[in-house]
């Protein structure tokens, strides 16, 4: 507690910190909290799980009070993160009794309007915030602290124009705090236009690279799902996250894992908010041990004790890959990231491996594996079905299955509310998110080094 006191945190927040048993501040907390409490504009490069909510929460509690008028706005890229941040802020403001309201799309807007009438702090996604502003049910003229959380993710999702529009509704004399896993040129440009002499702070990655084991398996498209089932049963993990690039693939994988006797749940932007919330609660409580998801769950959410991360589809960039695998090997625990690479993933995987800081080693299957029959996803069915295992028993994993393969999908997943304007147009204008390599050739045997992908 003494170390937290030295940061200048208010007593009201220190009492909560003590109640939750926090031992010592994280790197980003130690570096940023004193500056935030001095009223400085801050750009903080910090990964998910580093304790950044306490950083801006300490400032919000100091500069805001219970007066029934909005004094702080926190923008987040996804509904889940908005809800999570709001819950954390409610804890930190426990002794100031402020009204913290989370607003996002996918739910009725009328109850939000009612809550906003007496709100002191609002946490929300850009699309729904802008919707309220246009309806004049949200007044930001008295905002003292503006927080852009996961700013790089908001920009990646196409919310830049929405974010800028919202900022213009806020007073020019305010404190602006920007948090981002990476500080890109776009982030720097945003900061130069809307922040006053910001101080940049960088914290080391929260993931412990020495405890993160990264591997990939090179398989045919027809073997891909069978490989996932085999590995999930062989690895005997704790909590698992399986990432896919599209909503339909998420549903396909989750449905068929259940049929294979593996307890799994799916979450993506196509589900209602209540379903997404209940799914995450089940995963948090370990009622299910496999969460199949799009990148909606890769950023921001504080999901603890994930032992394995699987890339069923390979993301398009190394940055997205790092966000995904950053869900495991945290807080001193071991973790494993496994990528299942088939011909449709080759182009994306080459892009990922251009990042020379990544050490992803090839592993091969050393024992026989039953190849599972799976039907392509049919929109008229609730999910694909299993047939019998390949042949009379099993064949070497290296051989191709004669079962039918899943053909893919053309719908992407935004992981947020419907947004407005630019964000909606971007998602509706051809988000064919399953990659196509342009080449059907497989890698020759023995090409196991990273360089063979380039």
DSSP string covering 284-319, please? HTTSSSEEEE-GGGTSS-----EEEEEESS--SSHH
Average pLDDT over residues 151-166: 92
Average pLDDT over residues 61-69: 96
Spatial CA neighbour of 177 closest among 58, 93, 94, 91: 58
**For 87-140, what is each residue's pLDDT tens digit?**
999 999 999 999 999 999 989 999 999 999 999 999 999 999 999 999 999 999
Give alpha helix (H) positions in 195-223. none
CA distances from 13 to 84, 96, 143, 207 (A): 18, 9, 21, 27
| pLDDT for position 430 | 36
The span from the CA of 32 to the CA of 25, in Å, is: 11
Residue 271 has pLDDT above 70, yes or no: yes
Count how many residues are written for the chain: 454
Phi first, then psi, for residue 193 (nearest 5°) are -90, -25
| Percent of the chain topping pLDDT 90 | 56
Residue 298 has pLDDT above 70, yes or no: no
Highest mean pLDDT among 12-26, 186-200, 371-385: 186-200
Q: 């896919």: which residue's tokens?
A: 244
| pLDDT for position 48 | 65
Spatial CA neighbour of 182 closest among 78, 14, 351, 45: 45
Average pLDDT over residues 397-404: 37
| pLDDT for position 206 | 54
Average pLDDT over residues 230-258: 91
| pLDDT for position 72 | 98
Instruction: Pick the range with the lowest mean pLDDT from 171-180, 195-204, 330-339, 438-447.
Output: 438-447
Q: Which domains are assigned to the chain?
A: 2-202 (3.40.50.300), 209-453 (3.40.50.300)
| pLDDT for position 153 | 86
Average pLDDT over residues 422-430: 38
| pLDDT for position 204 | 63
Of residues 408 and 55, the one with the higher pLDDT is: 55
pLDDT range class, residue 305, cuts 50, 70, 90: confident
| C-alpha angle 311-314-318 in degrees, rounded to nearest 5 | 105
Average pLDDT over residues 256-285: 86
pLDDT range class, residue 431, cuts 50, 70, 90: very low
Spatial CA neighbour of 160 closest among 132, 190, 129, 138: 190
Average pLDDT over residues 231-249: 89
| pLDDT for position 368 | 74
Residue 442 has pLDDT above 60, yes or no: no
* Two structure tokens written together for 128: 């729904």
Q: Are 7 and 29 in contact (CB under 8 A)?
A: yes
Instruction: Pick the range with the lowest mean pLDDT from 146-160, 195-209, 374-388, 435-449.
Output: 435-449
DSSP secondary-structure letter at 159?
-
Instruction: Pick the range with the lowest mean pLDDT from 5-19, 159-173, 239-253, 375-389.
Output: 375-389
| pLDDT for position 51 | 85
Neighbours of 327 (CB within 10 A): 27
Instruction: Pick the range with the lowest mean pLDDT from 168-172, 262-266, 279-283, 374-378.
Output: 374-378
| pLDDT for position 438 | 36
| Percent of the chain topping pLDDT 70 | 78
| pLDDT for position 191 | 94
Averaged confidence pLDDT in the chain: 82
């Amino acid at each position: 507690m003494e170390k937290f006191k030295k940061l200048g945190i208010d007593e009201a927040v220190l009492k909560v910190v003590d109640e939750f048993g926090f031992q010592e501040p994280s790197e980003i907390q130690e570096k940023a909290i004193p500056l935030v409490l001095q009223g400085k504009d801050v750009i903080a490069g910090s990964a998910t799980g580093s304790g950044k909510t306490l950083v801006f929460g300490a400032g919000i509690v100091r500069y805001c009070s219970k007066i029934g008028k909005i004094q702080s706005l926190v923008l987040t890229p996804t509904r889940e993160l908005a809800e999570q941040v709001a819950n954390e802020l409610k804890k930190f403001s426990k002794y100031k009794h402020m009204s913290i309201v989370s607003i996002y799309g996918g739910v009725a807007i009328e109850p939000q309007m009612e809550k906003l009438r007496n709100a002191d702090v609002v946490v929300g996604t850009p699309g729904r915030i802008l919707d309220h502003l246009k309806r004049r049910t949200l007044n930001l003229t008295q905002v003292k602290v503006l927080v852009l959380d996961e700013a790089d993710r908001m920009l990646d999702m196409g919310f830049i124009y929405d974010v800028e529009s919202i900022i213009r509704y806020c007073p020019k004399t305010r404190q602006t705090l920007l948090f981002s896993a990476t500080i890109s040129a776009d982030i720097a440009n945003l900061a130069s236009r809307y922040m006053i002499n910001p101080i940049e702070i960088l914290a080391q990655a929260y993931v412990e690279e020495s405890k993160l084991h990264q591997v990939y398996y090179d398989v045919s498209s027809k073997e891909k799902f069978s490989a996932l089932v085999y590995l999930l049963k062989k690895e005997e993990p704790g909590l698992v996250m399986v990432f896919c690039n599209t909503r339909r693939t998420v549903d396909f994988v989750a449905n068929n894992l259940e049929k294979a006797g593996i307890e799994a749940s799916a979450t993506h932007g196509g589900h209602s908010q209540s379903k997404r919330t209940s799914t995450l609660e089940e995963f948090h409580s370990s009622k299910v041990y496999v969460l199949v998801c799009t990148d909606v769950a890769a950023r921001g959410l504080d999901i603890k004790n994930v032992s394995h991360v699987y890339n069923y589809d390979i993301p398009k960039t190394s940055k997205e890959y790092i966000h995904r695998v950053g869900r495991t090997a945290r807080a001193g625990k071991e973790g494993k990231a496994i990528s299942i690479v088939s011909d449709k993933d080759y182009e994306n995987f080459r892009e990922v491996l251009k990042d020379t800081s990544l050490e992803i080693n090839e592993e091969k299957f050393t024992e026989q594996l039953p190849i599972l029959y799976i039907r392509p996803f049919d929109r008229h069915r609730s999910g694909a079905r299993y047939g019998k295992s390949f042949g009379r028993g099993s064949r070497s994993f290296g051989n191709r299955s004669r079962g039918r393969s899943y053909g893919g999908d053309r719908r992407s997943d935004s992981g947020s509310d419907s947004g407005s304007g630019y964000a909606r147009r971007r998602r509706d204008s051809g988000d064919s998110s399953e990659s196509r390599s342009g080449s059907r050739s497989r890698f020759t045997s023995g090409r196991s080094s990273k360089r063979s992908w380039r």
